[in-house]
Amino acid sequence: MNDFWKKNIINGLKILFQFSIFKKAFFFIKVLNKNTDLFNNQHQAYLFKNKIHFNLNLYDWIQCQLFFLNRYEDFELNVVEDILEKGDNCIDIGANFGLYSLCCAYIVGNNGKVISFEPYYENYKVLETNLKLNKFTNVQLVKLAVSDKNSILNLYYNGNIQNLGMVSSYNFDESAPIKVFTITIDEFLLINKIESLKFIKIDIEGGEYLALKGMINTLKELKPIIQIEIDDEILANTPYKSSDIHNFFKENNYELYMPQLKKQKKLLRLPYSKNYYFKSRS
């Protein structure tokens, strides 16, 4: 199928999925993506919430959802809007193509700062492109993985999954390793003289526990709110369990909580969401 027909079909599908009756059949897009070449090498300019520009790769499942449904992790992104204010500093660990990083950058403004960690080269290039599209000057891109020590780490990615958010330091499927450097959050903030921090989002496909171990001083001194993915299915491929993460927070004077969105927002956290929130008890 040539690009002319691909683009026309994609535009037609985009129109259909603006209607709620068709949104319920979105799984059809996943079938098309897996069994045809319709979305191969298809990129679309996209404006999110009339605020933030993206160049989306429709072959990637998360970016595909964002393009056709105009949403992805709506509850979580609204929580971010409620937590952050102008001038705040925040960290995005596992930034992928930049959805959280750029939303945070828009909220905190020029007097705030977003530190965006993305070690996987393909994601980093897209993140860099999306940052340039928006001309934000308050985002620091860091091409390092976050862990419990400064070292070298192998990353793995299976392109057949069609989800660049699934890059992991744990080899689920015998993918070829890509070596990256790691750093701890404690050391990064010390080197860069960051003295305030409102929020950290962590989504690194099984590497969350080690990332937490490298930010103990940050949690004690700066007390940021944490949004973290805890997925038992992914953790089953690691030496750690969800209980290790929960115990870590308890030992460091943090508690699990459920954010309440502002009254005018009626979104609910999706029942299958793997994102959890922790805040300091003090």
- Percent of the chain at pLDDT exceeding 70: 93
Q: What three-state secondary structure class fits 271?
A: coil
What pLDDT is stored for residue 29 in this prediction?
86
**Cβ of 206: how many Cβ atoms within 10 Å?**
20
Instruction: Please give the structure tokens belonging to residue 227.
Output: 């949004």
Please state, rounded to an integer, the average pLDDT across all residues of the chain: 91
Task: Give the helix/strand (H/E) hosting 141.
Answer: strand 139-142
List the chain domain ranges. 3-69, 74-280
SS3 7: helix
Predicted confidence at residue 149, as pLDDT, reads 96
pLDDT band at 127 (very low <50, low <70, confident <90, very high): very high
The tens digit of pLDDT for each residue in 130-154 reads 999 999 999 999 999 999 999 999 8
The β-bridge partners of 53 are 47
Residue of 225, 204, 99, 227 lying closest to 145 (CA atoms): 204
**What is the spatial distance between Cα 189 and Cα 187, in angstroms, rounded to a whole number?**
6
Residue 179: phi and psi, rounded to 5, are -80, 135
Q: Domain 74-280 belongs to what topology? A: Rossmann fold (3.40.50)
Mean pLDDT of 250-276: 88
pTM attached to this predicted model:
0.93
The C-alpha atoms of residue 99 and residue 117 are separated, in whole angstroms, by 13
Q: Copy the structure tokens of residue 62.
A: 């998360």
Least-confidence region, from 23-32, 195-204, 221-230, 267-276: 23-32
Instruction: Note the pLDDT of residue 168.
Output: 67
In this predicted model, what pLDDT tens digit does every residue of 36-90 receive, in sequence order?
889 988 999 999 999 999 999 998 889 999 999 999 999 999 999 999 999 999 9
The span from the CA of 71 to the CA of 75, in Å, is: 10
**Which of 49-63, 106-120, 260-274 is predicted least confidently?**
260-274
- Across 90-94, 240-244, 258-262, least confident range: 258-262
For position 279, what pLDDT does the model report?
A: 98
